[in-house]
């Protein structure tokens, strides 16, 4: 019996118990008792008690079972003859498993074919244990819940508790996953910082992430100063992109909320939101193939000899366009949240529409707009695809927008693309970069959310 069958059996048992619970509750009702909860709630209660503990047990059992099976197979006479070397042994074991599970006819290694019957038998053995355990749990839980079906029993509250438990579980999974991501970044970064000092990483201005294969190799010393990368990131994402996105996004939000007639708004707003749905790789093409040559030609026309076809300006411009919908929709929300009475008050004093917007609406909406801009910055500096395609690889510290700069995300992609050994500072640097970038965006998001929340309180 496999665990799949056990799963089906548990569900069938739970359904059967639910049916029993419902008919029992109905019987009580037709017997003249006034039920606290509807029969459906009793059925639900019995079902949950029959199904959930058994399913949880199954979920917990399946990883345990794999370990137990492996140990048992290794302990068997056939298993003890396997070679000691881990890689070979593991290959044979997994082949044996695949043969036992019927996924392939024969193994590459002759040992695995011999091992397969043993594997199959052990697998079945433990599946019986796990499946039997789950079925017993289902029967026990269902029977216990069935005894509680009673006119005065508050099955509704019981179901409510289960529902709450499920919701808590779902949110816990999300939170714990985030925590896990942070921890995995953190541990790899710690390994990096044991090889490269944090002060060199955080304050160094030279970025040349290479490690020598031989000690006497030319250019063997790597440099891991991340300042040029973070400067490039900020230059493209927080400066050039925002110079594009803030005015355009804000003005389009003002037009949409204050000037556009309802019909036009109903067309324009979705059109603007389409911009947010364009895959970033498409923006990347646009930046690399269309905007970058134009910017380079412009730079040359302006007499800037160093104008690069991987200029910061091209990547920043396109990133700004990508961010417009984000800025615009946040600004739109906060402008729309300024009460009409404010606008009326200003208009009734003889202010024009634009005076009202400039002097009353925008100051009142400012916290929301600022929050939106911060969120947009955090989005822009974490953005990868556009800069990978359009920004350069040279880690320059420059304020010339026609020059090429590189960004944190571009470098991470470079460091981790292809076959890499995960014990050299070159590769581990990617995790340290990722960690710092994550911390920056985290702080930006926290500030933005705080600003936005404080603003919301002001009008509610």
Partner 1 sequence: MTMTQEKQPITTNSAVPFPSTAIAADAARDDAGIAKEDAAWTDRPEPAAGPAPITVETPSPEPQDTAEPAAGRTPKMRADRVSVFYGDKQALKDVSIEVHDDRVTAFIGPSGCGKSTFLRCLNRMNDTIAGARVAGQIELDGHDINAPDMDVVQLRARVGMVFQKPNPFPKSIYENVAYGPRIHGLAQGKSELDGIVEKSLRRAGLWDEVKDRLQESGTALSGGQQQRLCIARAIAVDPEVILMDEPCSALDPIATAKIEELIHELRGRYAIAIVTHNMQQAARVSQRTAFFHLGELIEYNRTSDIFTNPREQRTQDYITGRYG
Which span sits near partner 1 by CB under 8 A: 8-16, 21-29, 173-181, 357-365? 357-365
Closest CA to 331 of 275, 247, 442: 247
Contact call for residue 22 and partner 1 (CB under 8 A): no
> What does the DSSP 8-state code read for residue 207?
E
Contact call for residue 359 and partner 1 (CB under 8 A): yes
Which span sits near partner 1 by CB under 8 A: 184-192, 288-296, 307-315, 338-346? 338-346
Q: Which of residues 119-148 bind partner 1 (CB under 8 A)?
A: none
Query: In this chain, which of 108, 363, 417, 423 binds partner 1, going by CB under 8 A?
Result: 363
Q: What six digits make up the tokens of 189? A: 């970064």
The Cα 179–Cα 195 span in angstroms is 25
Contact call for residue 345 and partner 1 (CB under 8 A): yes
Q: Which of residues 256-315 bind partner 1 (CB under 8 A)?
A: 261-262
Contact call for residue 348 and partner 1 (CB under 8 A): yes
Beta-carbon contacts of residue 207 (< 8 Å; ≥ 6 apart) = 223, 224, 225, 226, 227, 228, 229, 395, 406, 411
Size, binding site for partner 1 by CB under 8 A: 21
Which span sits near partner 1 by CB under 8 A: 74-82, 141-149, 206-214, 341-349? 341-349
Contact call for residue 360 and partner 1 (CB under 8 A): yes
Nearest approach in angstroms of CB 330 to partner 1 is 19
Closest CA to 58 of 139, 134, 169: 134
Is the separation of the CB atoms in 377 and 385 below 8 Å?
Answer: no
Q: How far is CA 319 from the centre of its chain?
A: 21
- HEC sequence for 369-433: HHHHHHHHHHHHHHCCHHHHHHCCCCCCCCCCCCCECCCHHHHHHHHHCCCCCCCCHHHHHHHHH
Which span sits near partner 1 by CB under 8 A: 10-18, 64-72, 296-304, 352-360? 352-360
Is the separation of the CB atoms in 373 and 447 below 8 Å?
Answer: no
Query: In this chain, which of 121, 342, 397, 413 binds partner 1, going by CB under 8 A?
Result: 342
Considering beta carbons, is residue 262 or 274 the nearer one to partner 1?
262
Burial 221-234 (b: 16+ CB within 10 A, else e): ebebbbbbbbbbbb
Dihedral over Cα of 218, 221, 227, 230: its sign:
positive
Instruction: Name the 3-class secondary structure at 218.
Output: coil
Query: In this chain, which of 343, 381, 435, 452 binds partner 1, going by CB under 8 A?
Result: 343
The Cα 436–Cα 158 span in angstroms is 46
Q: What six digits make up the tokens of 114? A: 């011999």
Which span sits near partner 1 by CB under 8 A: 3-11, 237-245, 276-284, 348-356? 348-356
Length of the chain counted residue by residue: 460
Taking phi over 0 as left and psi of -120 to 50 as alpha, with beta for the rest, 308 belongs to beta
Considering beta carbons, is residue 303 or 350 the nearer one to partner 1?
350
Contact call for residue 351 and partner 1 (CB under 8 A): yes
Contact call for residue 339 and partner 1 (CB under 8 A): yes
Contact call for residue 458 and partner 1 (CB under 8 A): yes
Nearest approach in angstroms of CB 329 to partner 1 is 22
Contact call for residue 341 and partner 1 (CB under 8 A): yes
Considering beta carbons, is residue 355 or 423 the nearer one to partner 1?
355
Considering beta carbons, is residue 6 or 335 the nearer one to partner 1?
335
Nearest approach in angstroms of CB 199 to partner 1 is 45
Which span sits near partner 1 by CB under 8 A: 35-43, 182-190, 356-364, 421-429? 356-364
Nearest approach in angstroms of CB 349 to partner 1 is 4
Dihedral in degrees, nearest 10, Cα atoms 279, 280, 284, 287: 100
Strand partners, 224: 207
The Cα 41–Cα 21 span in angstroms is 9
Query: In this chain, which of 194, 352, 417, 420 binds partner 1, going by CB under 8 A?
Result: 352
Contact call for residue 355 and partner 1 (CB under 8 A): yes
Contact call for residue 350 and partner 1 (CB under 8 A): yes
Query: In this chain, which of 364, 387, 395, 452 binds partner 1, going by CB under 8 A?
Result: 364
> What does the DSSP 8-state code read for residue 151?
T
Query: In this chain, which of 248, 347, 413, 447 binds partner 1, going by CB under 8 A?
Result: 347
Q: Which residues bind partner 1 (CB under 8 A)?
A: 261-262, 339, 341-352, 355, 359-360, 363-364, 458
């Amino acid at each position: 019996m496999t665990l799949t069958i056990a799963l089906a059996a548990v569900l069938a048992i739970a359904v059967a118990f639910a049916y029993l619970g419902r008919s029992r509750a109905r019987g009580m009702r037709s017997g003249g008792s006034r039920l606290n909860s509807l029969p459906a709630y009793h059925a639900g209660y019995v079902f949950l008690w029959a199904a959930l503990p058994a399913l949880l047990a199954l979920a917990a059992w399946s990883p345990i079972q794999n370990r137990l099976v492996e140990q048992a197979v290794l302990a068997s006479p056939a298993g003890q003859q396997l070679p000691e070397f881990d890689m070979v042994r593991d290959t044979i074991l997994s082949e044996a498993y695949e043969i036992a599970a019927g996924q392939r006819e024969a193994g590459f290694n002759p040992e695995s074919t011999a091992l397969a019957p043993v594997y199959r038998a052990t697998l079945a053995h433990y599946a019986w244990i796990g499946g039997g355990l789950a079925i017993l749990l289902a029967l026990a839980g269902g029977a216990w819940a069935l005894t509680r079906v009673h006119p005065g029993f508050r099955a509704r509250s019981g179901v409510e508790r289960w529902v709450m438990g499920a919701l808590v579980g779902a949110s816990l999974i999300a939170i714990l996953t985030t925590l896990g991501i942070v921890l995995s970044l953190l541990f790899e970064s710690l390994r990096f910082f044991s090889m490269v000092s944090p002060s060199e990483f955080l304050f160094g201005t030279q970025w040349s992430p290479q490690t020598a294969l031989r000690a006497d190799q030319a250019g063997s010393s790597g440099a891991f100063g991340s300042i040029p990368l973070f400067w490039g990131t900020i230059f493209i994402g927080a400066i050039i992109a925002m110079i594009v996105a803030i005015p355009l996004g804000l003005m389009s939000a003002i037009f949409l909320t204050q000037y556009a007639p309802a019909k036009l708004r109903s067309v324009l707003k979705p059109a603007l939101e389409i911009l947010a749905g364009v895959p970033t790789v498409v923006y990347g093409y646009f930046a690399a193939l269309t905007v970058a040559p134009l910017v380079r030609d412009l730079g040359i026309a302006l007499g800037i000899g160093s104008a690069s076809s991987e200029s910061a300006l091209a990547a920043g411009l396109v990133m700004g366009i990508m961010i417009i919908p984000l800025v615009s929709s946040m600004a739109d929300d906060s402008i729309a949240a300024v009460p009409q009475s404010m606008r009326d008050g200003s208009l009734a004093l003889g202010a024009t529409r634009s005076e009202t917007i400039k002097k009353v609406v925008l100051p009142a909406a400012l916290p929301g707009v600022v929050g939106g801009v911060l969120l947009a910055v955090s989005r822009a500096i974490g953005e990868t695809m556009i800069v990978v395609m359009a920004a350069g690889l040279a880690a320059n510290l420059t304020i010339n927008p026609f020059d090429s700069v590189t960004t944190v995300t571009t470098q991470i992609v470079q460091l981790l693309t292809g076959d890499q050994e995960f014990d050299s500072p070159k590769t581990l640097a990617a995790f340290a970069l990722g960690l710092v970038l994550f911390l920056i965006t985290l702080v930006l998001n926290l500030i933005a959310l705080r600003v936005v929340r404080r603003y919301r309180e002001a009008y509610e």
